[in-house]
Amino acid sequence: MLNLEHLSKTYADGTRALSDINLSVRESEIVALIGGSGCGKTTLLRLIAGLDRASAGAIRLDGTTITEPDAAIGIVFQEPRLLPWLTVTDNIAFGLDGVGAAERRERVGHALAKVGLSEHADRWPRDLSGGQQQRVAIARAFVTNPKVLLLDEPFSALDAFTRASLHEHLLGLWEETRPTVVLVTHDVQEAVTLADRAVVMQPKPGRIFDELPLSLARPRDKSGPSFDSAVRRVLAALDQSLQTQHAPKREQDRQAAALWW
């Protein structure tokens, strides 16, 4: 399990990016972080990845405190960030240095097939489209079998058709090893398509406003009433979160329960 405990981040110039974040993500769960610009979603992902240090609080994965990059945690960024001097195959195999040659070939070949790029195995990144490059980045992240996979808006620069295709590739890879996934997105439909839970964040400073379960069967029917209802629930929470005079809904619920008792 991934646990974020009273996590806060204040930058050297005094900017409070995150304040008292408490969140538990179950094994194999897909959680979408969604919120307006400046609510600290990417900062939170960088802290989980060990790419930055928290000002307060702790991040624990199965009881182990995370303070630096860890092999158990993979990340896919907004840009593919492929190495231009390596072929598609070698880019995917980049994190498998400690794996034997035969197993490395098998893993990479399987990942290429799952993202539909087997015929592009020996090509250079410059020869691929943007969507194909992002498929390589996703395959590279999954091929190491991470316990946790972090996705920082990896589909935001793609057209709707390519984005939908990549959603299918992502879920296909996830079904095999079922890592815990934390996805940052601005797209409510994307959150409902992929996630088991939407965590709505509130800005200035970034904090959790509400958590909404997305208990829809997979594959999800985007034309069905349940999908539409889930989208509307997340949109409503997102709209409330942007009205910064409101306290986080979790705190409102706690106060209401205290008054009731």
Q: Rounded to a whole number, what is the largest CA-CA distance in the chain?
A: 66
For tokens 């205290």, the residue is: 258
CA-based nearest residue to 169, from 199, 136, 214: 136
- Predicted confidence band at 158 (pLDDT cuts at 50, 70, 90)? confident
Confidence (pLDDT) at 254: 53
Has residue 185 got a pLDDT over 90?
yes
Has residue 118 got a pLDDT over 80?
yes
Cα Rg of the chain, angstroms: 19
Kindly report the length of the chain: 261
Q: What is the pLDDT of residues 229-255, one digit of tens each?
A: 999 999 999 999 888 545 566 555 554
- Predicted confidence band at 155 (pLDDT cuts at 50, 70, 90)? confident
Sort strands 2-10 and 56-61 into parallel, antiparallel or unpaired.
Answer: antiparallel
Q: Region 143-161: what's the mean pLDDT?
A: 90
Confidence (pLDDT) at 16: 92
Residue 227 contacts residue 216 (beta carbons within 8 Å): yes
For tokens 């980045």, the residue is: 137
Q: Read off the pTM.
A: 0.89
CA distances from 239 to 10, 39, 110, 210 (A): 25, 13, 42, 11
Q: What is the pLDDT of residues 76-116, one digit of tens each?
A: 998 899 999 999 999 999 988 878 889 999 999 999 998 99
Residue 24 contacts residue 1 (beta carbons within 8 Å): yes
Residues 193, 176: Cα–Cα separation, whole Å: 18
Tokens representing residue 17 in the block:
């990016």
Task: Name the DSSP class of 184.
Answer: E
Residues 50, 60: Cα–Cα separation, whole Å: 11
All domains of the chain, ordered by start, with CATH? 2-72+147-260 (3.40.50.300), 85-145 (no CATH)
- Predicted confidence band at 204 (pLDDT cuts at 50, 70, 90)? confident
In 3-state terms, what secondary structure has residue 159? coil
Residues 256, 152: Cα–Cα separation, whole Å: 35
- CA 188, 5, 75, 44 torsion-angle sign: positive
Q: Phi and psi of 30, rounded to 5°?
A: -105, 120
Residue 199 contacts residue 34 (beta carbons within 8 Å): yes
